[in-house]
Amino acid sequence: FMISSFLVIQLITGIILSFLYVADSNLSFSCVMDLTNDSFFTWLLRYFHIWGVSFIFILLFIHMGRALYYSSYSKVLVWNFGFLLYIVMMIESFLGYILPWHQMSYWAATVLTSIVQSIPLIGIKLYSFIVGGFSVTNVTLVRVFAAHIVLAFVIIGLSILHLFYLHLSGSNNTLFLYNGYSDVIYFHSYFTNKDLLCLSFLVVL
């Protein structure tokens, strides 16, 4: 519930910020600075977007650690969709880091896309497809921005599938609450109350 709440915040702030962003290598950094310094309250949306993803990954690592500890990987579909979701979220975060197109994000794009070339047989062609040429250019930034938008909705879809299969199998009843010695527990009201309490603490932070 908490991770879902932050995902909704990310989606809303990201859509608003995408209206104001210019995917051009000569203008993107100035655009980000304008969002931060000159536009009305967009600096707040930008920081919500930046801090939101940090909180998501903190919660995600706690979530994954708990799932490993309580052997949730035995629920194959839930685990596989969760793992796929984690990989896509890491790619999405990397793409978002490139968008300001300052010196660090430019070299991050250069180095990490160059790793693709080490893939046997298809590496060089795949690299050219990703960056849109022989090196990282303005075309790369446009493709990164488009992929960043598309992957946001892929994450939402994978999250829905992850929750769907979780509700089919049920959550782990590690403390044997409510249902005696049953292995599963309903999401409401134990998880709802727990997540609302933790969410209130995170909002205060």
174 in a structural domain: no
Instruction: Give residue-wise pLDDT tens across range 95-113.
Output: 888 888 777 788 888 888 8
β-pair type (171-172, 184-185):
antiparallel
What is the count of structural domains for the chain? 1
114 in a structural domain: yes
Digits of tens for pLDDT over the chain (205 positions)? 678 888 988 999 999 988 888 888 888 888 888 888 877 788 889 888 988 899 899 989 988 998 888 777 888 888 999 999 999 999 999 888 888 877 778 888 888 888 888 888 888 888 888 888 787 888 888 888 999 999 999 999 999 998 888 777 766 655 555 555 556 666 666 667 777 887 787 777 6
| Residue 162 burial by Cβ neighbours in a 10 Å radius (0-12, 13-18, 19+) | buried
175 in a structural domain: no
19 in a structural domain: yes
Q: What angle do CA 194, 196, 199 make, to 5 degrees?
A: 110
181 in a structural domain: no
Instruction: Give residue-wise pLDDT tens across range 15-56.
Output: 998 888 888 888 888 888 888 887 778 888 988 898 889 989
Q: Which helix (H) or strand (E) holds 172?
A: strand 171-172
Cis, bond preceding 30 (omega within 30 deg of 0): no
Q: Are 96 and 18 in contact (CB under 8 A)?
A: no
205 in a structural domain: no
| Domain CATH for 82 | 1.20.810.10
7 in a structural domain: yes
180 in a structural domain: no
Structural domain for 78, as ranges: 2-169
According to DSSP, residue 176 is labeled -
133: left (phi over 0), alpha (psi -120 to 50) or beta: left
The distance of Cα 57 from the centroid of its chain, to the nearest Å, equals: 8
Three-state DSSP state, 185: strand
Give pLDDT, residue 158: 94
Q: Under 8 Å CB-to-CB from 99, ≥6 apart: which residues?
A: 21, 23, 28, 32, 105, 141, 144, 145, 148
